[in-house]
Homo-oligomer: A and B are copies of this chain.
Amino acid sequence: MVKIAVMGYGVVGSGVVEVLTNHSENIARRAKEEISIKYILDLRDFPGSPFGSKFTKSFETILNDPEVKIVVEVMGGLHPSFEYVKACLEAGKSVVTSNKELVAAKGAELLKIAQKNNLNFLFEASVGGGIPIIRPISQCLAANDVVEIAGILNGTTNFILTKMIREQMTFEDALALAQKLGYAERNPAADIEGSDACRKICILASLAYGKHVYPEQVHTEGITKIALADVEYAAAWGGVVKLIGQVRALENGKLQIIVCPMFIPRESQLATVDDVFNGIMVRGDSTGDVVFYGKGAGKLPTASAVVADVIDCVKHFKARKYLYWEDGSEDYVEDYRLNVISMYVRAKTEDEAVALKNVKQIFGEVTRLSRKNAENGEFAFVTNSMKEEEILTKLEKLKSMGICVENTIRIGNL
């Protein structure tokens, strides 16, 4: 019998308790030991809960109980999660977490403590919810060099974009609907401004390339500037707008990594990842493209990933799982303005003929896009491939000619 503690009884925490309870027999068979919840840490009261006797408000009770071998951290946020997890690892307890903010900020540090103490620190649920992705990258793809990872990593923004694409909802209406349905929080900033997706691509990049990438190193743009006009131009171009997290290893040893909306061609396997679903493409030099698809969030999917990690902990008390990356460094991420891309540009002018002449003079040949409901003086085009900094300079020049650049979106090179 292995005793564990669950820290946090919110959506995921209560899901973990539910899955452990409902599947206890199956889980015991897989883990080869019974798993029993000794404590549930939460500052709130849950009168009438069948788990009443397990609740505690004292972290120290858990920390100081030598019977507790595994601690599940599903509180979220960076503090006090970090301090608690660190203390648990230092006290000889393995830790399982779903907390992407924690792993993205402190992964290398916590993995180091786990390694030193011969413990496991597992976080399958931190990316992709119930989609197995951490394990496949770390294990199955061990015989590959990872060429690239690109994914739709945030279900909330994908839901909003899907509503804009399929039902011509505005961003504001789609966000309001997402909030009504419980897909978006009242403060949706972390989702719609891209920082949730950023944390996840940081975790995947750190794992795949062995060195920590910190969220603040990654150029991140959300979807708040996407208008219906952009969605329509994407369709005219032959694709859809998706919020993509993408990372590639460069030959100079640095990473090319970015989170931003992109035009994705309709034929791409990621283009059909709709609604709250996530899709993650891992390109290996041997396997080619492998795509993982499923619900990237939600109580039970996330909880089942947490429980799978708990089972793995139980099975690997002696043989530690290989999961490790080293500290990051300041110059590890290439300036995104050095990436070679092509860019969609939506602009407005008073004199279209002159504007187009200017565009041609500045950018050379471009691909014009059109849409049915274009406003007066509106025009859109896609540039050829060049360094982003070059595009930015050219756009400044365009603006100086009195052309109003209303939005730009990168063309996904997946």
Chain A residues near B (Cβ < 8 Å): 15, 19-20, 23, 26-27, 30-32, 124, 129-132, 135-136, 139-145, 269, 272, 284-295, 298, 300-301, 303-305, 307-308, 311-312, 315-316, 318-319, 322
Contacts and interface: CB of A to CB of B under 8 A. Distances in A.
A135 B130 contact: no
A153 to B, nearest CB: 15
A304 to B, nearest CB: 4
A19 B292 CA distance: 23
A286 B272 contact: no
B26 A145 contact: yes
A210 to B, nearest CB: 9
A290 B286 contact: no
Contacts of A291: 291-294
Contact of A304 (B269, B287, B322): B287
Contact of A142 (B142, B145, B289, B311): B311
Contacts of A285: 300
Contacts of A144: 23, 304
Nearest to A318: B319
Nearest to A289: B294
A312 B139 contact: yes
Nearest to A281: B293
A318 B316 CA distance: 11
A304 B135 contact: no
A57 B23 CA distance: 49
A304 B290 contact: no
Given A288-B301, A319-B315, A308 B131 contact: no
18 contacts: A23-B144, A23-B145, A27-B143, A30-B322, A131-B287, A131-B290, A135-B135, A135-B139, A139-B312, A140-B305, A142-B307, A143-B307, A285-B300, A287-B294, A289-B295, A290-B294, A291-B294, A293-B293
Contacts of A31: 142
A304 B140 CA distance: 8
A240 to B, nearest CB: 13
B311 A143 contact: yes
B143 A308 contact: yes
B322 A315 contact: yes
Given A26-B145, A288-B301, 9 more contacts: A19-B143, A23-B144, A32-B322, A142-B311, A143-B311, A286-B303, A290-B293, A291-B292, A318-B319
A289 B294 CA distance: 6
Contacts of A308: 139-143
